[in-house]
Amino acid sequence: MFKVVIKCSTADIRSDFIVCHITTVATMVVSPEHIRTLHRYEKAILATLERLMKRYEWVPLETIQQATGLSESEVNYRISRLMEWGMVRFNAVPYDGYALVFGGYDTLALATLTRKGTISALGAKIGEGKESVVYEALGLGPVAIKFHRVGGRSFSSARVNREYMPDSGNCPWLLASRLSAEREYAALALLHPNVSVPLPIGQNRHTVVMSLIDGPNLNRCLLEEPVAMLEEILTHVHAAYTLGVIHADLSEFNILIEDGRPVIIDWPQWMETSHQNAKTLVTRDITNLLTYFKRKYKVDYDCGDAVRCVIG
């Protein structure tokens, strides 16, 4: 895990903007300086784009003017700054239109989380997957903030494979990412503390704030008692099942080991135990685990017994 020195004081926090002084080698999601200096007109434009992108793939310039009440010259000036900062994208065909991109969505989420007091500073990047990036942050103490990024190839597969995604209509990657974050937060809220998962702290748009787990992924560990660890993981999978939840994407890559205990992460793809393919999903999760433990530790654990242990 990257370590980061964060220096923030109450005097550094102005309105609902983040002001951070950060010493780190990691790349930030967005520039704290840009968030700090964001003008209220620019924030209004970002919020307007977010709202109107439910109806438009590219929001026309005239529509932005009407929604914000700003002049054409003011809108052009403010949008040019937002484009320079990587928060908005422009498209000229078939008309001059603008769209919010992840930089702008990150800004709106961070500004809201800061105003609510959920976080006060953003630190180093500590994890990245095909559909998310995770940063260390400062709230009441050290926390983790996960930015869901369902876009490109992952967005296409998400619409096909995830039942909570609309199969028709306008569902851009911003909405897909928000739905993914909401679903993960709901799972954590349902499971904690009965299942070993991160404590859910807050959720806004495509972000989830949770407790910071200080430990490596299971695949990076060398376990002294692999059978005991496998059985402990299965116990938590069973506890989740009794609460009506199946992870549905479980593997050695989304289990962290903190102080010798497993913590199961990455829950946006979870399914209810009432799902018609519930047993298939559980079996797939368990097969992934058993395959890993057999490959690395030569543990020969019967899959049928493990599935019965989970389902009860």
pLDDT tens digit sequence for 50-96? 999 888 989 999 999 999 999 999 999 999 999 999 999 999 988 88
CATH assignment of the domain containing 300: 1.10.510.10
Number of domains in the chain: 1
**Rounded Cα distance, 136 and 151, in Å:** 22
Q: By the 8 A CB rule, do 119 and 110 touch? A: yes
Q: What is the domain extent for residue 288?
A: 218-311
**Residues designated as active site:** 249
118-149 pLDDT, tens digit each = 999 999 999 998 899 999 999 999 999 999 99
- Residue 128 falls within a domain, yes or no? no
Would residue 68 count as lying in a domain? Answer: no
Query: How high is the mean pLDDT of the chain?
Result: 87
Predicted pLDDT at 80 = 97
In a domain, 122, yes or no: no
Say which DSSP state 217 is in: B
Query: How would you classify residue 152: left for phi > 0, otherwise alpha for psi between -120 and 50, otherwise beta?
Result: left
Does residue 236 lie within any of the structural domains? yes
Q: Does residue 290 lie in a domain region?
A: yes
For residue 30, being part of any structural domain is answered with no
Is 296 part of any domain? yes
Give the predicted TM-score (pTM) of the model.
0.86
Let me know if residue 33 belongs to a domain: no
